[in-house]
Amino acid sequence: MDIQHKLEILADAAKYDASCASSGAARKDSRGGKGVGSTGGTGICHSYAPDGRCISLLKVLLTNACLYDCHYCINRRSSNVQRARFTPEEVVRLTLDFYKRNFIEGLFLSSGIIRSADYTMELVVEVARQLREEHHFRGYIHLKTIPEASPALIEMAGRYADRISINIELPTQQGLSKLAPEKNLARTQDAMGHIRGKIEERHAEKRKPEAPKPPPFATGQSTQMLVGADDSTDAVILQRADLLYGTYRLRRVYYSGFSPIPEPSALLPIKPPPLVREHRLYQADWLLRFYGFKVEEIASAAAPNLDLQLDPKLAWALRNRATFPVDVNRAPREILLRVPGLGVRNVERILSARRYARLRLADLLQLRVPMKKVLPFIIAADHTPARLGLDDDSLRARFLPPPRQMELDFAAPPVAGDIDSVRSGEL
């Protein structure tokens, strides 16, 4: 099989993995110094597929053959797909060729498991080693690691990669036992704990005065959770994400709406979850990380799934009308962050501007506050929401998306995986 054909198969197989995001923002010059792929200067290429997926990384599998039989995966042992396998040298050549043509910023490499976890991990690490040591590649490298691989190999992966990730896939052991019988939640979390230890060890070494520079290690780890493949509620998914952020200091948890694959297992649901569920989970994730919300406030045992029609912050505000209206001239930061429509940047601007004057609506407009959304929830020098006279139902109706938008939101995703454009944003 020629390399072009292998690329078609293995890049297509990799699209189901959502646990990477190419940095659109400024990033430190990976590994320092100059070299092929350094992003310290100009020439960084960002491009997006029509479905919003970021394709500025070469995102491929080393192989789509796999010993495991995860029911939700197109590459599982029992799947009837054409198999292909790159050699490490082929991936290295492709990465360098694409980089030099400015098609990509770096490499995202994952793999099905062949022969054993250690054998596969050795091949993955070999790609990164050749890029870094033989070709002095300074571009971004994200390696998917296998929790069952030996800690020494995961450590080596961390030494060459900017980001490493281990997919947790499902939030409960119960779900894994049913759909990914070879996978184990405790083992995956142990591996995450090991990576966290290594990252922190390196930071501590770096802080020691006059100590020699420690060997490089990945700056963060991330994971992916499938949504809608099992019956886990949003509350369960968010609790797991919260635990991963808190205990293992993950940089990101990616939520990937399950989408039906060719020749699906009978254990899988027939229909994918609506696209908007993934979007709401990203919004809720943002609230947990940057807005001081707790999981129980967003999705509780009584209402374990997110409201698909309204963003989770707005839904919370409508359930907690007693907290509002909030005076933008007096309220502390943590309360301002709870106002629907006020994002972190807006809140910082308000805190800074109100030191000099009592803020009026015109001032908020100048600070680019989305007025339609915030007006029912705030008091300003020249505004109290009582004048609007809105009760809970009319408020909810006011914020519902238009019917056409709702149709799109509740449709099945066009392709498997995530949409980058819904992964972030002010709430």
Given the rule CB under 6 A, which residues bind ligand SF4? 66, 68, 70, 73, 75-76, 112-113, 180
Least distance between ligand SF4 and beta carbon 423 (Å):
21
Smaller CB separation from ligand SF4, 92 or 180:
180
Amino acid at 113: I
Longest dimension (CA), the chain: 71
Q: Classify 379 as helix, strand or coil.
A: strand
Least distance between ligand SF4 and beta carbon 330 (Å):
52
The CA distances from residue 397 to 80, 164, 276, 279, 294, in Å, are 48, 43, 18, 20, 26
Least distance between ligand SF4 and beta carbon 110 (Å):
8
Q: Which of 90, 206, 64 is nearest to 144 (CA)?
A: 64
Smaller CB separation from ligand SF4, 154 or 180:
180
Q: Which of 306, 334, 333, 337 is nearest to 319 (CA)?
A: 306
Long-range CB contact pairs, 214-219, < 8 A, 24+: 215/159, 216/31, 216/159, 216/160, 217/155, 217/158, 217/159, 218/157, 218/158, 218/161, 218/162, 218/163, 218/164, 219/162, 219/163
Least distance between ligand SF4 and beta carbon 282 (Å):
22
Least distance between ligand SF4 and beta carbon 88 (Å):
18
Least distance between ligand SF4 and beta carbon 406 (Å):
33
Least distance between ligand SF4 and beta carbon 298 (Å):
28
Least distance between ligand SF4 and beta carbon 420 (Å):
21
Helix axes of 151-160 and 185-207: crossing angle, nearest 10 degrees: 50
Smaller CB separation from ligand SF4, 181 or 197:
181
Smaller CB separation from ligand SF4, 174 or 184:
184
Amino acid at 137: F
Strand pairing category for 163-165 and 220-227? parallel
Q: What are phi and psi of 140, to 5 degrees?
A: -75, 135
Structure tokens at 245: 């952020």
Smaller CB separation from ligand SF4, 139 or 175:
175
Smaller CB separation from ligand SF4, 14 or 250:
14
Distance CA 223, CA 374 (A): 34
Least distance between ligand SF4 and beta carbon 269 (Å):
17
Smaller CB separation from ligand SF4, 113 or 143:
113
> How many C-beta atoms lie closer than 10 Å to residue 144's C-beta?
26
Find the angle CA(336)-CA(340)-CA(345) to the nearest 5 degrees: 55
State whether the Cα torsion 23-26-28-32 is positive or negative: positive
Find the angle CA(273)-CA(308)-CA(48) to the nearest 5 degrees: 65
Least distance between ligand SF4 and beta carbon 68 (Å):
4
Residue whose token pair is 């707790």: 294
Distance CA 411, CA 378 (A): 34
Helix axes of 185-207 and 234-248: crossing angle, nearest 10 degrees: 30
